[in-house]
Amino acid sequence: MQVDKLRLKDFRNIKTADFEFDGKMNVICGENAQGKTNVIESIWLFCGAKSFRGSKDSSFVRFGAEKGESHLDFISGGTLHNAKMIFDDRRTAVLDEKNLKNPGELAGIFNAVVFSPADLSLVTGGPEKRRRFLDLFIGQIYPNYIDVLRGYARAVMQRNKIIKDYKYDPSVSIMLDVFENEISEKGKKIIEYRKKFLGMLNGYIPGIFSGLSGGKEEIKAVYVANCDAILLGDELKKARKEDSFSGVTSKGPHRDDIDLLINGISARQYASQGQKRSIAITLKLACLNVIFEVSGEYPVCLLDDVMSELDEHRQNYILNHVSGWQTFITCCDPSSVTRLLSGGVFRIKDGGVF
Ligand SMILES: Nc1ncnc2c1ncn2[C@@H]1O[C@H](COP(=O)(O)OP(=O)(O)O)[C@@H](O)[C@H]1O
Ligand SMILES: [Mg+2]
């Protein structure tokens, strides 16, 4: 995947901007609140996903403008494509002059992996952050997985709705049987997918982490299932009574987690701040490799504000030693740019490019 050109009009604080990118490394630099993350976000949106900032579609339009626009020329699967997004109350997308029903249709045509400071929560946050990371990443490679997840979530919701009645109305058992079958069947698939992809990520994690940190620590990501996939159906049945009091489904992959271990101990509890940040970046860079392994093409790599909290060695690694894919990186500190051996530099000030 390679982005050649980006044109923005009335997108966030950017009135108009034109970019022609380097095929490998692009550094977007400028002071705070000038529009660097906005540029990264505009590229990310072409994946068809929601903003990594969790913003509403209407917030993309520049204050005072009626609508915003972004245009992207990119190469995917050896073919040159042009895509356009129009932002007003909602957003619409056009691919190669064809109106798409839904921007989500761009998924799989344009692929990117983004790292933003909020991703530190992959290490420090609750299990739902790590499940979401895995699910988003697997869904990017296998859109079918998203259907399995949706079906699973629906079945859990339906079980939750009736489980409370179980304590005084045993006749709900027949319905519970139906939903638990569904949970068990889809849950098994989810666990299988997640374990497989975590296994593939583990193939890249040690190499990237040691390159990034220069350290010798052993890093591993281990899937922690709260229930054996084969036993899920039985376990759900056993848990009926207890669940009827709590009103939730206590077994299944919606309660699973990933243990991130550094030298065998929990990174969440024992890693330093710098190590945690390196682990979070490592996970994202490992995704790029696995997506390449599966699809034969690297996604583009969007790194927002990673430089500020990394030491010089880690900064150099990011700038000059990650290769194979196209990178976009934002930074405030102009000295980072002098360390860049080759690539494009874009200076952003007050929503303009210089
Ligand atoms: N819809 C919008 N219209 C105008 N300005 C906006 C809009 N959305 C965000 N901004 C402004 O864009 C500025 C730059 O944002 P950002 O890209 O996050 O800066 P940074 O360079 O620090 O990454 C912020 O001051 C923000 O208020
Ligand atoms: Mg920013």
Residue 318 pLDDT greater than 90, yes or no: no
Does residue 299 contact residue 112 with C-beta atoms inside 8 Å?
yes
Q: What is the pLDDT of residue 317?
A: 86
Q: Which residues of 164-182 are buried (b: 16+ CB within 10 A; e: fewer)?
A: bebeeeeebeebbeebbeb
Mean pLDDT of the chain: 94
Give the other-Cβ count within 10 Å of 342's Cβ: 9
Place of tokens 């691919």: 95
CB atoms within 10 A of CB 345: 16
Ligand 1 geometric centre to CA of 49 (Å): 20
On whether the pTM is more than 0.75, the answer is yes
Residue 140, pLDDT score: 86
CATH number of 122-268: 1.20.1050.90
Q: What is the pLDDT of residues 40-54, one digit of tens each?
A: 999 999 999 889 988
- Ligand 1 first shell, C-beta below 6 A: 12-13, 30, 32-38, 59, 61-63
Residue 345 near residue 19 (C-beta atoms within 8 A): no
Phi, psi of 95 (to 5 degrees): -125, 125
Predicted confidence (pLDDT) per residue in 5-41, tens digit: 999 999 999 999 999 999 999 999 999 999 999 999 9
Taking the chain, what is the end-to-end CA distance rounded to the nearest angstrom?
Answer: 25
At residue 312 the predicted structure's pLDDT band, cuts being 50, 70 and 90, is confident
Ramachandran area for residue 77 (φ above 0: left; ψ -120 to 50: alpha; else beta): left
| Ligand 1 atom nearest to 39, measured from its CA | 17
- Of 214, 219, 218, which is closest to residue 318 (Cα–Cα)? 214
CA of 38 to the centre of ligand 2 (A): 7
Q: Where do we find the tokens 């380097």?
A: 22
- Residue % of the chain over a pLDDT of 70: 100
2-111+297-353 CATH, one of 3.20.20.100, 2.40.160.10, 3.40.50.720, 3.40.50.300: 3.40.50.300
34 CA distance to ligand 1 centroid (A)?
7
Q: Would you list the DSSP string of 179-204?
A: HHHHHHHHHHHHHHHHHHHHHHHHTT
Domain ranges of the chain: 2-111+297-353, 122-268
55 CA: nearest ligand 1 atom: 8
- Work out the pLDDT band at 314, boundaries 50, 70, 90: confident
Rounded-to-integer distance, Cα 282 and Cα 262, Å: 13
Judge contact between 100 and 94, C-beta under 8 A. yes
Q: Read off the pLDDT of each residue in 171-190 and give the average, rounded to a whole number.
A: 97
Hey, what's the torsion of the CAs at 130, 136, 138, 143, to 10 degrees?
Answer: 160
pLDDT of residue 95: 98
The ligand 1 atom nearest the CA atom of 304? 23
pLDDT band at 107 (very low <50, low <70, confident <90, very high): confident
Handedness of CA 107, 110, 111, 114 (dihedral sign): negative
Nearest CA to ligand 1 atom 4: 13
